[in-house]
Amino acid sequence: MSPTAFALIVLAGLIHAGWNIVAKQAGGDARFAFFISVLAMLIWAPLGWWLGRAEVPRWGLTEWGFVLASGLLHVVYFVVLLRGYRKSDLTVVYPLARGFGPLLSSMVAIVFLGEQVSALAAAGIAGVVSGVFLIAGGPRLLRAARDPVARQRVHTGVAYGLLTGAFIAAYTVVDGYAVKWLLMSPILVDYMGNFVRVALLAPNAMRDRPAAWALWRHQWRPALAVALFSPVAYVLVLYAMKEAPLSHVAPAREVSMLFAALIGGHLLGEGDRGLRVLGAACIAGGVVALGLG
């Protein structure tokens, strides 16, 4: 992995952890995802127009098909993620989603896209996955808690985390193929997906307009923060995919867990500090191995 790709991934990880903490604190649902998509579409419109005025007219059915698939997968991913945050802890849902997603996407890249992985890089993937497992609670996830309510909350978080991770893997492979093999602009892949996301989320958001307006007044600030920073984090990752193999970039993204463990655990007070530190160390070692491999 080149130093440029590595730097892009680390910066993206910091931004990604930050906006997920904001989203968790907002406690939003699909309407919150709609607010974010509308704001992102408006905020980034000048950049989207500037880059797209020459490239978008050249797109064919294949390119538009990938934009549509990307937008659909991102919608489902974000709605599932937000629901998981409402029903369980960030320190369960987020690590499992971030760990399961790159594991799947790396497997797809290696098995179906023909990418090669060195022994060191494979060890790095294992370190990242082990780290997110420990941050999510480690052995507690296997034996659960004695308290039935706590046990159900952990199990719910595990389910939503794994489901979210599956959609992370899906959109990572789709978007990675678009920018690496179809040579589409990473910025445009993400920006044009906003139109798909808005179209899909609008019917649900507008079903009860007074309720949506009330939520907007309460949630516009966190929605604005996510709309500003989430696209930046993801576009940095897409640019990294142009520089390095997808099977390396996808797990290395989980450097965000370092920041989530240090920042989110303190702000949200969800416990298990020792496991988080150990898990963060595993992730750090895994990311270094991926960078060298």
Burial call 127-144: b when 16+ CB within 10 Å, e when fewer: bbbbbbbbbbbbeebeeb
pLDDT number for residue 155: 78
Distance CA 37, CA 202 (A): 10
Tell me the backbone φ, ψ of residue 216, rounded to 5 degrees.
-60, -45
Q: Which domain holds residue 127?
A: 3-292
The DSSP result for 166-223, as a single string, is: HHHHHHHHHHHHHHHTS---HHHHHHHHHHHHHHHHHHHHTTTHHHHHHHHHHHHHHH
pLDDT number for residue 271: 56
pLDDT one digit per residue (tens) for the chain, 293 residues: 678 877 888 888 888 878 888 888 888 888 999 999 999 999 999 999 999 999 999 999 999 999 999 999 999 998 998 899 888 877 778 777 777 766 676 677 677 767 677 788 788 778 877 877 776 666 665 555 566 776 777 778 888 988 998 898 889 889 989 998 899 999 999 999 999 999 999 999 999 999 999 999 999 999 999 999 999 988 888 888 877 776 667 666 666 666 666 666 555 555 566 776 677 778 767 766 766 66
Q: Domains in the chain: how many in total? A: 1
pLDDT number for residue 95: 73
pLDDT number for residue 182: 93
